[in-house]
């Protein structure tokens, strides 16, 4: 444990350097930055939801710029084709053969801007890349670079020209982060930086090798067997809500998949790591669970009629499931 503690303390120098670089262009939004860092260090895809103008794209670009890795922003539109993402085979008449031209997905970090504006064929192509970290072009399969991370944004208030994401794809996002408006002091600082000064440039301060080492380190964070049972109890309670609370049974139509259990255990260790600890506490699980579960629980029609959100359902779960 002492050796692990020393490694965690050493790695926090890199984390602080990344935070400092992101802070050059992003004011506040601490929870968003923490979520992006956890996704970065655990290779977990992230869905970011917020109204326009809250610096979702700027935050993702700042994180990508702080990593010495290949980055590509893809603007999702209704006329986007799968070949625009994965690439295609091009016929060469001179040699009478086909050559494969790889698409923009062959990068380490992908910003899928306004992901819900693309049709289902595009989402299906992205689905293989997110889950298998590979793409198929013609009859050939190509592995994507390591690390490969999709950071997607979507606007919750504009429905015209958008397509609901398939549940299978939504489930592959490790986190769903909600971005809120800044405070008055933060907004004043934003105005000062953007309106009266030249923005600073974000420098790369961490490499893909550092990300891999941090990923291995997070896997070494200690989690007690009772906490593992607690995570399983939480997730299973979303599938059999009637066993813990009568209201929950009426509010939940479908519960979370086993992928939620995997991601929640990994996210809790990542959160403990960000706090500089070598072990996970029940509070770590509670802190990160809403971001892992909110897009995996499908509320019932009764809950929607009563304006009960999935975050409210998760709060009730915490009240009903016994903490170790």
Looking at residue 227, its pLDDT comes to 93
Q: If you average pLDDT over every residue of the chain, what do you get?
A: 87
Neighbours of 94 (CB within 10 A): 5
pLDDT tens across 25-56, in order? 888 778 888 998 999 899 899 999 888 777 78
Q: Is residue 213 part of a domain?
A: no
Percentage of the residues of the chain whose pLDDT score is greater than 70:
98
Residues 169 and 227 reside in one and the same domain: no
Residues 70 and 129 reside in one and the same domain: yes
Residues 127 and 228 reside in one and the same domain: no
Residues 42 and 151 reside in one and the same domain: yes
The residue from 195, 211, 241 where one domain ends is 195
Looking at residue 169, its pLDDT comes to 85
How far apart CA 25 and CA 49 sit, in angstroms, is 19
What integer is the mean pLDDT of 175-186? Answer: 88
Q: Is residue 150 part of a domain?
A: yes
What integer is the mean pLDDT of 193-198? Answer: 72
Q: Is residue 201 part of a domain?
A: no
Q: Is residue 202 part of a domain?
A: no
CATH number of the domain residue 136 falls in: 3.40.50.300
- Sequence-distant (6+) residues with CB within 8 A of 303 are 250, 251, 252, 313
Number of domains making up the chain? 2
Indicate whether 195 pLDDT > 80.
no
Q: Is residue 2 part of a domain?
A: no
Q: Is residue 208 part of a domain?
A: no
Residues 183 and 302 reside in one and the same domain: no
Q: Is residue 166 part of a domain?
A: yes
What integer is the mean pLDDT of 245-255? Answer: 86
Looking at residue 161, its pLDDT comes to 64
CA distances to 41, 98, 219 from 177, in Å: 16, 42, 22
The residue from 195, 229, 248 where one domain ends is 195
What integer is the mean pLDDT of 170-181? Answer: 90
Residues 154 and 234 reside in one and the same domain: no
Indicate whether 271 pLDDT > 90.
yes
CATH number of the domain residue 273 falls in: 1.10.8.80
Range of the domain at 246: 221-320
In this prediction, residue 179 has a pLDDT band, given cuts at 50, 70 and 90, of: confident
Residues 127 and 231 reside in one and the same domain: no
What integer is the mean pLDDT of 66-72? Answer: 87
Q: Is residue 23 part of a domain?
A: no
Residues 71 and 110 reside in one and the same domain: yes
Instruction: Answer whether 96's CB lies under 8 Å from 90's CB.
Output: no
Is the CA virtual torsion 109, 181, 115, 174 positive or negative? positive
What integer is the mean pLDDT of 247-269? Answer: 91
pTM for this prediction? 0.87
Residues 240 and 301 reside in one and the same domain: yes
Residues 80 and 182 reside in one and the same domain: yes
The residue from 180, 195, 210 where one domain ends is 195
């Amino acid at each position: 444990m002492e050796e692990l503690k020393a490694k965690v303390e050493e790695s926090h120098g890199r984390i602080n350097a990344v935070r400092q670089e992101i802070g050059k262009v992003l004011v506040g939004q601490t929870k968003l930055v923490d979520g992006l860092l956890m996704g970065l260090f655990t290779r977990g895809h992230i869905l970011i939801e917020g109204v326009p103008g809250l610096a979702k794209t700027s935050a993702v670009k700042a994180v990508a710029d702080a990593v010495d890795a290949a980055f590509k922003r893809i603007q999702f539109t209704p006329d986007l084709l799968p070949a625009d993402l994965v690439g295609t085979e091009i016929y060469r008449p001179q040699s009478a053969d086909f050559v494969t031209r790889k698409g923009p997905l062959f990068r380490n970090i992908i910003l899928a801007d306004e992901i819900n504006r693309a049709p289902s064929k595009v989402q299906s192509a992205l689905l293989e890349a997110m889950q298998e970290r590979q793409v198929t072009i013609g009859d050939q399969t190509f592995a994507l670079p390591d690390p490969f991370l999709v950071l997607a944004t979507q606007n919750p208030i504009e429905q015209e020209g958008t397509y609901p994401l398939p549940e299978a794809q939504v489930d592959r996002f490790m986190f769903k982060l909600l971005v809120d408006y800044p405070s008055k002091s933060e907004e004043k600082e934003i105005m000062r930086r953007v309106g009266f000064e030249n923005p600073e440039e974000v420098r790369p301060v961490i490499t893909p090798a550092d990300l891999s080492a941090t990923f291995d380190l997070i896997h070494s964070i200690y989690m007690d067997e009772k906490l593992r049972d607690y995570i399983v109890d939480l997730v299973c309670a979303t599938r059999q809500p009637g066993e813990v609370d009568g209201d929950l049974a009426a509010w939940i139509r479908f519960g979370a998949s086993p992928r939620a259990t995997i991601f929640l255990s990994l996210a809790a260790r990542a959160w403990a790591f960000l706090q500089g600890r070598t072990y996970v506490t029940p509070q770590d699980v509670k802190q990160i669970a809403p971001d892992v579960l909110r897009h995996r629980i499908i509320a019932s029609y009764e809950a929607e009629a009563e304006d009960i959100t999935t975050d409210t359902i998760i709060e009730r779960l915490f009240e009903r499931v016994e903490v170790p």
